[in-house]
């Protein structure tokens, strides 16, 4: 193929079409030899029956037959590098034109070595460390044969009821934009054709982080001004950083589902933002247009998605099933199919897949690249920087050397609490639990008791915990939410601690020893009802493969906490959604609304009767083991106008 192409390029150069790039010449030549069905195939992404499940069950397809027919542009969620290699071999050797397949996966916060969840990493405020984590994740993913990650998630959110806050960068659009750009740079590197660079994917376009009532997939409706001020910046920054792909969101956006929203995809994304890569739908989002009520059947769903120029369809196959009819009936032009297919092929060309379809993956490369020492070390470093010290009465932390420690709670010994949602190819055997981290750092000083389960008491759990606390100098409780309880389809109506955990905390507090809480969670939690039982509170999030060691690094004082919140922690559920950059209103609050409890009189201010507007811990908050004093501020003189 290459030789034919070189002659073709030389011909073009002499024939005056030199203004086209080499990639465009190659792709236009290839498309000139493709059938309409093959073009629709490039616009179709499928998941193998044996793949990782990241969405509702779909219609089974004969993937091998589709591949041989040249009707599969991309495959997601393949579990092993061997399977990726054999599927690619089938495409390259058995299909008419041998167009390589693009393999995608959710490498969200690491691949084999997991880094802290993204909301945790955002609390490091360390762009270099975040960029590095994306780079290391890309190196492992590329070694597996994955050339495309569905990351960064750029959805701004101020609503911790929504489980997917765990995947984002918090509530601030400016910080979210910086982090989105850093992750794109980390994944894609300087040159997409470098075999350790993989495609980034800006998701979920758009405003998926603002679902009504914090319920996943729910309606999003806001003014264009609010959207442009608060939600657009991270998507825009990621695109300006060169992100090669964008993924549409499940939600409707001002009454039109994102996957059929012409304003979002054509006007804003491709025209105004000048996005030149390709757009993929989210999982089954095209046929979900039927449930949204904007399509009567799969054919109309395909029509509306194609009309909006949604370039690639994830999983549902309606483009292949109905695209030719839509063109022959004049509803969709073949020119627009060409425009969408071309975007996909140009990205494959930039990746170097036509040069070498096996540049990604391969058993030897895989064995060499994964689980590198650098990845483990960076995971531990970023985890430390992501943790936030929220309270430290009487400097209970760091623990003094020699103290006996009662380590209590449902998340002390489980690797699942370290990894969080979107676990990719995590290796639980190599994941360091908090118990393991403590035993390594505080040998023969730690006694471990479960105390309770996540939502339910354990027989004798509280009495065991009380006994352990009595026999120790300090009680360290590991409480919060489980990794499964954040991420997609994980909305909750309360972010308070479950009652059994509150009961465990209260019982241990009564023993009278200092109480440290390590909070493992993928979302801000409402802690006002328990905060008085806690002497020191360290937010550890879901800190990744090296989580247990990173916690021990901070609790021992080997390192000082340095994280700062990127989402407010509410006092109680009733404050949600809550953000630091709220409007003043015409009646800004000066306190709670009830001025006195005996004779009921109220302040006419924008506040609640019984609860302050302020969160328990605000955006930007975080303590360390030292104190800081700021003084002698100086404002730079206005720059002289030259």
**Binding residues for ligand GLC restricted to 38-57, rule: CB under 6 A:** 54-55
Closer to ligand GLC by Cβ: residue 106 or 313? 106
Residue 218 as a binder of ligand GLC (CB under 6 A): the answer is no
Q: Under rule CB under 6 A, how many of the chain's residues touch ligand GLC? A: 9
What is the closest distance, in whole angstroms, from the C-beta atom of residue 161 to ligand GLC in the complex? 17
Closer to ligand GLC by Cβ: residue 106 or 252? 106
Which of 547, 559, 548, 538 has the alpha carbon at shortest distance from 623?
538
Assess contact for 447 and 472: CB atoms under 8 A. Answer: yes
Which of 347, 350, 344 has the alpha carbon at shortest distance from 309?
344
Among 231, 278, 283, 569, which residue interacts with ligand GLC (rule: CB under 6 A)? 283
- Distance, in Å, from the CA atom of 255 to the CA atom of 263, rounded to the nearest integer, reads 12
What is the closest distance, in whole angstroms, from the C-beta atom of residue 76 to ligand GLC in the complex? 6
Among 135, 282, 385, 436, which residue interacts with ligand GLC (rule: CB under 6 A)? 282
Assess contact for 519 and 563: CB atoms under 8 A. Answer: no
What is the closest distance, in whole angstroms, from the C-beta atom of residue 217 to ligand GLC in the complex? 9
DSSP string, 124-141: TT-HHHHHHHHHHHHHHH
What is the closest distance, in whole angstroms, from the C-beta atom of residue 51 to ligand GLC in the complex? 9
Phi-psi region at 254: left, alpha or beta (left = phi > 0; alpha = psi -120 to 50): left
What is the closest distance, in whole angstroms, from the C-beta atom of residue 52 to ligand GLC in the complex? 8
Which of 102, 75, 69, 30 has the alpha carbon at shortest distance from 320?
69
595: number of Cβ within 10 Å? 12
Closer to ligand GLC by Cβ: residue 145 or 398? 145
Convert residues 102-121 into a mask of x (bound to ligand GLC by CB under 6 A) and - (unbound): ----x---------------
Tokens 């915990």 sit on residue: 465
What is the closest distance, in whole angstroms, from the C-beta atom of residue 168 to ligand GLC in the complex? 11
Among 39, 203, 365, 564, which residue interacts with ligand GLC (rule: CB under 6 A)? 203
What is the number of alpha carbons within 13 Å of residue 221 lying toward its C-beta?
7
Structure tokens belonging to residue 401: 């050397």
**Binding residues for ligand GLC restricted to 61-90, rule: CB under 6 A:** 76
DSSP string, 567-585: S-B-SSGGG-S--SS----
- Measure Cα distances from 509 to 1, 352, 516, 536, 552 in Å: 72, 60, 10, 12, 22
What is the closest distance, in whole angstroms, from the C-beta atom of residue 290 to ligand GLC in the complex? 17
Closer to ligand GLC by Cβ: residue 487 or 561? 487
Closer to ligand GLC by Cβ: residue 147 or 508? 147
DSSP-derived 3-state class of residue 309: coil
Closer to ligand GLC by Cβ: residue 162 or 621? 162
Strand 474-480 versus strand 515-520 pairing type: parallel
Closer to ligand GLC by Cβ: residue 95 or 318? 318
Strand 252-253 versus strand 256-257 pairing type: antiparallel
Closer to ligand GLC by Cβ: residue 522 or 570? 522
What is the closest distance, in whole angstroms, from the C-beta atom of residue 578 to ligand GLC in the complex? 25
> Going by C-beta distance under 8 Å and a sequence separation of 6 or more, which residues neighbour residue 244?
188, 192, 199, 200, 201, 277, 278, 347, 350
Rounded to a whole number, what is the largest CA-CA distance in the chain? Answer: 92
Helix (H) / strand (E) element for 45: namely strand 44-46
Among 85, 252, 324, 488, which residue interacts with ligand GLC (rule: CB under 6 A)? 488
Beta strands in 451-609 (DSSP E): 474-480, 515-520, 536-539, 594-596, 601-602
Which of 124, 142, 225, 231 has the alpha carbon at shortest distance from 182?
124
Closer to ligand GLC by Cβ: residue 147 or 572? 147
Q: What share of the chain is helix, strand, coil (3-state, %, to 5)?
A: 40, 10, 50
What is the closest distance, in whole angstroms, from the C-beta atom of residue 312 to ligand GLC in the complex? 12
Q: Which residue is catalytic, options 126, 159, 172, 282?
A: 282
- Distance, in Å, from the CA atom of 624 to the CA atom of 622, rounded to the nearest integer, reads 7
First to last CA, the chain: 59
Closer to ligand GLC by Cβ: residue 249 or 613? 249
What is the closest distance, in whole angstroms, from the C-beta atom of residue 203 to ligand GLC in the complex? 6
553 classed as catalytic: no
DSSP string, 352-373: TTTT-TTSS--HHHHHHHTT-H
Which of 379, 398, 385, 389 has the alpha carbon at shortest distance from 539?
389
Which of 163, 220, 221 has the alpha carbon at shortest distance from 494?
163
Residue 125 as a binder of ligand GLC (CB under 6 A): the answer is no
Residue 150 as a binder of ligand GLC (CB under 6 A): the answer is yes
Structure tokens belonging to residue 331: 């509803």
Convert residues 444-483 into a mask of x (bound to ligand GLC by CB under 6 A) and - (unbound): ----------------------------------------
| Catalytic center residues | 282
Contact residues: ligand GLC, CB under 6 A: 54-55, 76, 106, 150, 203, 282-283, 488
């Amino acid at each position: 193929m290459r030789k034919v192409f070189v002659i073709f390029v030389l011909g073009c150069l002499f024939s005056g079409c030199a203004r086209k790039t080499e990639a465009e010449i190659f792709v236009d030549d290839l498309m000139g030899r493709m059938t309409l069905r093959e073009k629709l195939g490039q616009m179709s992404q499928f998941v193998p029956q044996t793949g990782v499940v990241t969405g509702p069950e779909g219609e089974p397809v004969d993937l091998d037959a589709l591949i041989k027919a040249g009707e599969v542009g991309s495959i997601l969620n393949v579990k092993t590098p061997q399977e990726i290699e054999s599927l690619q071999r089938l495409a390259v050797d058995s299909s008419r034109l041998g167009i390589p397949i693009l393999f995608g996966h959710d490498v969200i916060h690491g691949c084999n070595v997991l880094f802290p969840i993204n909301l945790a990493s955002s609390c490091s405020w360390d762009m270099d460390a975040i960029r590095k984590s994306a780079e290391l994740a890309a190196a492992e993913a590329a070694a597996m044969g994955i050339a495309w990650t569905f990351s960064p998630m750029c959805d701004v959110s101020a609503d911790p009821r929504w489980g997917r806050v765990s995947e984002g960068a918090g509530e601030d659009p400016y910080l979210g934009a910086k982090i989105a750009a850093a992750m794109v740079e980390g994944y894609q590197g300087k040159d997409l054709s470098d075999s350790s660079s993989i495609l980034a994917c800006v998701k979920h376009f758009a405003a998926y982080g603002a679902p009504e009532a914090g319920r996943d997939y729910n309606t999003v409706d806001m003014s264009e001004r609010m959207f442009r001020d608060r939600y657009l910046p991270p998507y825009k920054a990621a695109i300006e950083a060169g992100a090669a792909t964008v993924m549409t969101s499940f939600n409707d956006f001002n009454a039109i589902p994102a996957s059929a929203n012409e304003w979002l995809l054509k006007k804003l994304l491709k025209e105004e933002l000048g996005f030149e890569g390709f757009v993929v739908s989210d999982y089954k989002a095209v046929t979900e247009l039927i449930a949204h009520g904007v399509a009567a059947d799969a054919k109309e769903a395909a029509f509306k998605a194609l009309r909006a120029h949604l370039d690639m369809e994830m999983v549902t196959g309606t483009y292949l099933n109905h695209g030719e009819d839509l063109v022959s009936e004049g509803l969709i032009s073949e020119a627009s199919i060409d425009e969408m297919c071309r975007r996909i092929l140009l990205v494959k060309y930039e990746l170097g897949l036509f040069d070498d379809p096996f540049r990604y993956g391969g058993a030897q490369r895989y064995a060499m690249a994964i689980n590198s020492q650098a990845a483990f070390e960076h995971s531990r470093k970023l985890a430390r920087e992501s943790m936030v010290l929220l309270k430290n009465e009487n400097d209970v932390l760091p623990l003094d050397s020699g103290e006996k420690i009662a380590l209590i709670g449902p998340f002390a010994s489980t690797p699942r609490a370290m990894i969080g949602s979107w676990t990719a190819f995590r290796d639980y055997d190599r994941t360091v639990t908090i118990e393991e981290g403590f035993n390594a750092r505080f040998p023969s000083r730690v006694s471990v008791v479960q105390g309770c389960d996540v939502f339910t008491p354990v027989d004798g759990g509280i009495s065991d915990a009380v006994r352990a606390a009595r026999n120790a100098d300090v009680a360290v409780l590991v409480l919060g939410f489980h990794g499964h309880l954040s991420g997609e389809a994980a909305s909750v109506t309360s972010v308070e601690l479950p009652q059994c955990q509150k009961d465990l905390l209260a019982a241990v507090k009564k023993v009278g020893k200092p109480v440290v809480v390590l909070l493992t969670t993928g979302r801000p939690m409402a802690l006002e009802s328990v905060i008085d039982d806690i002497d020191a509170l360290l937010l550890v999030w879901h800190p990744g493969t090296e989580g247990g060691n990173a916690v021990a690094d901070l609790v021992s004082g080997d390192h000082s906490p340095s994280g700062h919140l990127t989402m407010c922690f509410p006092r109680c559920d009733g404050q949600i959604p809550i953000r630091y950059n709220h409007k003043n209103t015409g009646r800004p609050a000066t306190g709670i609304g009830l001025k006195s409890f005996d004779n009921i009189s109220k302040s006419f201010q924008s506040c609640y009767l019984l609860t302050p507007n302020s969160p328990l811990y605000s955006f930007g908050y975080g303590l360390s083991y030292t104190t800081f004093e700021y003084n002698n501020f100086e404002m730079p003189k206005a720059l002289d106008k030259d």
